Amino acid sequence: MAAQETVEHKYVYDFAEGNKDLKDLLGGKGANLAEMTNLGLPVPPGFTITTEACKAYLTTGREPDGLAAQIEAHLESLEREMGRKLGDPQDPLLVSVRSGAKFSMPGMMETVLNVGLNDRSVVGLSAQAGGNDRFAWDSYRRLIQMFGKTVCEVPGEEFEHALDDAKRAKGTQNDLDLDADDLRGLVDAYKKIFAKHTGREFPQEPREQLDLAIRAVFESWNAERAVVYRRQERIPADLGTAVNVVAMVFGNLGADSGTGVAFTRDPGSGAQGIYGDYLANAQGEDVVAGIRNTVPLQELEKIDKKSYDELLDYMARLEEHYKDLCDIEFTIERGKLWMLQTRVGKRTAAAAFVIAGQLVDEGLIDLDEALHRVNGAQLAQLMFPRFQLDHEFQPVAKGIGASPGAASGKVVFTSARAVELAAEGESVILVRRETNPDDLNGMIAAKGILTSRGGKTSHAAVVARGMGKTCVSGADELDVNVPAKKFTVAGQTVNEGDIVSIDGTTGKVYLGEVPVMPSEVVQYFEGELDPEQADDALVKAVHRIMTHADEKRRLQVRTNADTGADAARARRFGAQGIGLCRTEHMFLGDRRELVERLILASTDEEREAALAALLPLQRADFIDIFREMDGLPVTVRLIDPPLHEFLPPLEQLAVNVAVAQERGEDVAKEEALLAAVRRMHEENPMLGLRGVRLGLVIPGLFAMQVRAIAEAAVEVTRSGGSACPEIMVPLVGAVQELETVRAEAEKIIAEVVGDSGVEVLIGTMIEVPRAALTAGQIAEAAQFFSFGTNDLTQMGWGFSRDDVEGAFFWRYLELGIFGISPFESIDREGVGRLVRIAAEEGRAARPGLKLGVCGEHGGDPDSVHFFHEVGLDYVSCSPFRVPVARLEAGRAAITTTGSDSR
């Protein structure tokens, strides 16, 4: 026929036409309903309208051509199969209209049940239900309520109030006490509410109800809560939802009917067994709404053994088929079991590991698949201590969960006091408005850090994450008064020494001590729990999967560490060397004074004396680290930050000098310091005199560090150890900078190393865009590259690292300019491209050039996959993230599609 010549786009699929792999098109729910249908499970018949139809509707504001006719055709075949017509007055077919996107977005989008009921078919439904008038009118009032709220935006409370009025009139609190007449009255009341808000009568035409409900589900993709949820879960905004139109089955037809949910294993712990809830004489939304109390699923055996056995059989078949934990929704209509939904069930981080291990034991999956089923974010969660919140603890404030974990301790307001109390064996929480590099020792000493300002990339957050220390930042309900040693919150004053508890995962702050449990996974990584002996399914599963990840991964994992203690811990956690030892941290504390002397030196002699005093201290630092990393490479970066960071702030100094002058005190030294600070002041210090530029400007500075490194390596090697230092020059943008530093360094190294057998590599960071773009030239002078993706992101985007998050990132995230801060996860297209170019051009110029990354991204799961794809040799991250990086490097090696394990 001529009219059929153009091939029409297929927008509607019968359940028998789909399968579980069509989630993009049919959404998760539709694809799984199709799969169950094809497995021969009792799924109520129905069809799915594709995500493509939704996308077309959302772009053009109208249903795409052909959709209405396809719905009509599928509806007719559904009617034939059921032997009933939609909304037929004598024997009506009723349908549910349900959303279902590719990724589950629980409760975020819309559903309308009982579509097809009207003033006439309600009577037919009653006859169908054996004269059960109450049931029919209850179903009708539910339709008006859901339809009104979802499709026509009638305020839900109005219906709730009308229901409450009806119950009050009846003198009851339970909707089951309302009889058919009461419900008929309620339907009238609901219709009035509907008409009042919409200016029209409740639609009586079944097909109109259906079309409007479908449209409302399409539109619910862009409902605010759905948009917010997607952003949080990093679900792309352009997927659209499918719509499932399913023949209604009823769990509210009496005591032999009911509805429930079931899990094939415990989604909390992963333990095998039967988990779920059942609610007799009810429809699905009653379970979700928690209106009445459910009973444990096991009770169903007593209520309806036949359905129970059948359900268990289907559960076993589904698990076997999906080879994973499934969650299931079912309804029993007068003794007949119907499967309404299944999907691979969400689970806690612990259950994810335990279940993956069990499935390997059961021969359902192999270890590669087990590794694919878990992820670094889950592992990271398991590595933090947790609060035991069994008791009633109410939070007094909520900030940003900046670095997860749970910590309780005495409040202190200064770094010095934190160190003091910690030395006495106290647990302390360092509370500040915001932290700065001077707080480092206090942060190390503290159990947790709480700030009233700053976001997820504030100094406190980044440093705490690096240390694996609990941190809540930006708790702006706290009024912190450091000089008075107190803060106020919720009308209460907390003084130094009072106890608070902070949850770095949720951002919640509690007064008093909430009991904390240590992480058994960390105990395992620390070597305190033997996985063979441990009576702990989680530890065994983590061990097994980590071992497999290590076998599979191509990327090495190093750590960023600047102390022997951090190096030792990272090594226990599996680090294969140090990828970044930041030497500036070694210039803080009581060494500040020496740095001041260096900066203020007015003659060569003074400068040399200051450097000479620093040399043995640095050497001792390196000896410590080389010993801990015996036999493994240690990349030591020459000093990077602008030197004025080691001097007091200008304003504070100016005030001190003025006050002292006023008092007639001798301020010559302070004046000199103030003059130096003024001289060195920079408008944009991150783009100023730092990194290699310092080494080229301050004679002897880099030389002292190179000598300390080489001497330490020789000493460790002479005493029977094996030190493998790699000297790294920061902030190089041109090969000439590196060549100059290298020439001087090589001379010193040759002189110090002599015949000791120590080999020292010299390489560079690639963290300035120009370096990435001239990597071919730079590689001529570098024995290795390490990507400094923090600076590369800063300079690639032109985002000041320390300022932008608080200033405007929220808006960028809101607008979807990026889905996650590029400081947290590598921006593959932009900054990632610079990495790719530099890797390729560097290796072209120097085949086999060693490539690593030491920016924060080295421990970020998604970024690890990227670095694997680009072909780096290693990633380096903070000690606590080493296991995460190992796991993700293993996952990257077995997948080629990135880390999509949602």
Q: Which of 197, 321, 582, 592 binds ligand PEP (CB under 6 A)?
A: 582
Q: How far is the CB of 873 from ligand PEP (least distance, A)?
A: 16
**Which value, in Å, is the radius of gyration of the alpha carbons in the chain?**
33
What residues are paired with 327 via a beta bridge? Answer: 263, 343
Instruction: Report the partner that residue 19 touches, choosing among ligand PEP, Mg ion, none (CB closer than 5 to 8 A by kind).
Output: none
Whether 459 is catalytic: yes
- For 659, the token pair is 């006050």
What letter represents residue 638's amino acid? L
Query: Which does residue 503 bind out of Mg ion, ligand PEP, none, counting CB within 5 to 8 angstroms by kind?
Result: none
Which partner in Mg ion, ligand PEP, none is near 357 (CB below 5 to 8 A by kind)? none
Residues 678-697: x where in contact with ligand PEP by CB under 6 A, - otherwise, as a string: --------------------
Question: In this chain, which residue has its C-beta nearest to Mg ion?
Answer: 791
CB of 463 to ligand PEP, least distance (A): 11
> 3 to each of 8, 63, 64, 208, 429, how far by Cα in Å?
11, 21, 18, 27, 76
582 binds, options Mg ion, ligand PEP, none, Cβ within 5 to 8 A by partner type: ligand PEP
The values of phi and psi at residue 532, to 5°, are: -70, -35
Token pair in block for residue 483: 């000089």
Q: Which is nearer to Mg ion, 158 or 767 (CB)?
A: 767
- Please state the closest distance from residue 794 (CB atom) to ligand PEP, in A: 7
Smallest distance, Å, CB 686 to Mg ion?
9
Nearer to Mg ion, 274 or 639 (CB): 639
Smallest distance, Mg ion to C-beta of residue 858, A: 12
Structural element, H or E, at residue 899: none
Q: Is the dihedral of CA 588, 589, 591, 594 positive or negative?
A: positive
Residue 724 is among the residues annotated as catalytic for this protein: no
Q: Binding pattern to ligand PEP, positions 834-873, x when CB under 6 A?
A: --------------------xx------------------
CB of 859 to ligand PEP, least distance (A): 12
Q: Give the dihedral of Cα atoms 610, 615, 616, 622; nearest 10 deg.
A: 140
Element housing 329 (H / E): strand 326-333
- Residue 503 or residue 791: which is nearer to Mg ion going by CB? 791
Question: Considering only residues 701-720, where is the footprint of ligand PEP by CB under 6 A?
Answer: none
- 514 sits in which H/E element: none
Binding mask 489-528 for ligand PEP (x = CB under 6 A): ----------------------------------------
Please, which contacts does 588-593 make with residues 24 or more away whose CB atoms are closer than 8 Å?
588/437, 588/438, 588/440, 588/441, 588/646, 589/441, 591/617, 592/646
Tell which one of 315, 379, 557, 580 touches ligand PEP (CB under 6 A): 580
State which residue, 138 or 640, has the beta carbon closest to ligand PEP. Answer: 640
Spatial distance between the Cα atoms of 355 and 351, rounded to a whole number of angstroms: 6
SS3 category, 578: strand
Cβ–Cβ under 8 Å, residues 338 and 284? no
| DSSP code at position 890 | H
How far is it, in rounded angstroms, from Cα 671 to Cα 656? 10
DSSP class per residue in 373-409:
HS-HHHHHHHTS-EE-TTS----SEE-EEEE--EEEE
Residue 421 binds what, of Mg ion, ligand PEP, none (CB under 5 to 8 Å, by partner type)?
A: none
822 binds ligand PEP (CB under 6 A): no
Residue number, 100 or 788, with CB nearest to Mg ion: 788
User: 52, 239 in Cβ contact below 8 A?
Assistant: no
Integer distance in angstroms from the first to the last C-alpha of the chain?
Answer: 46
Partner whose binding site includes residue 854, from Mg ion, ligand PEP, none (CB under 5 to 8 Å by kind): ligand PEP
The dihedral of CA 405, 408, 413, 416: what is its sign? negative
Residue 153 near residue 219, CB atoms below 8 Å? no
The listed partner (ligand PEP, Mg ion, none) that binds 789, CB under 5 to 8 Å by sort, is ligand PEP
Q: Catalytic: which of 326, 581, 854, 877?
A: 854
580's contact among ligand PEP, Mg ion, none, with CB below 5 to 8 A by partner kind, is ligand PEP
- Residue 855, binding choice from ligand PEP, Mg ion, none, Cβ under 5 to 8 Å by partner class: ligand PEP
Closest distance between ligand PEP and the C-beta of residue 806, in Å? 18
CB of residue 730 vs ligand PEP: minimum separation in angstroms?
A: 7
Distance CA 624, CA 629 (A): 9
Q: Which is nearer to Mg ion, 611 or 854 (CB)?
A: 854
Size of the site for ligand PEP (CB under 6 A): 10
Confirm or reject binding of residue 804 to ligand PEP (CB under 6 A): no
Q: In terms of Cα–Cα distance, which of 860, 882, 851 is closest to 571?
A: 882
Phi/psi for 667 (5° steps) reads -120, 25
Residue 79 tokens, joined: 């009617």
Comparison of 312 and 686: residue with beta carbon closer to Mg ion: 686
Residue with smaller CB distance to ligand PEP, 580 or 872: 580
CA 326 to chain centre: 23
Structure tokens at 639: 């000093």
* Main-chain phi, psi angles of 575, to 5 degrees: -65, 140
Catalytic residue among 74, 372, 459, 543: 459
Site for ligand PEP in 733-792 (CB under 6 A): 767, 788-791
**Beta carbon of residue 582, minimum distance to ligand PEP (angstroms, whole number):** 6
Q: Taking the CB of residue 476, how many other CB atoms lie within 10 A of it? A: 15
* 8 Å CB contact between 838 and 354: no
Read off the tokens for 552: 């599979």
Binding site for Mg ion (CB under 5 A): 767, 788, 791
**Is 640 among the residues that bind ligand PEP (CB under 6 A)?**
yes
CA distance 106 to 99: 10
Comparing CB distances to ligand PEP, the nearer of 329 and 584 is 584
**Cβ closer to ligand PEP: 597 or 801?**
801
Measured from the CB of residue 801, what is the shortest distance to Mg ion in angstroms? 9
Active site residues: 459, 854
List residues near ligand PEP by CB under 6 A: 580, 582, 640, 767, 788-791, 854-855
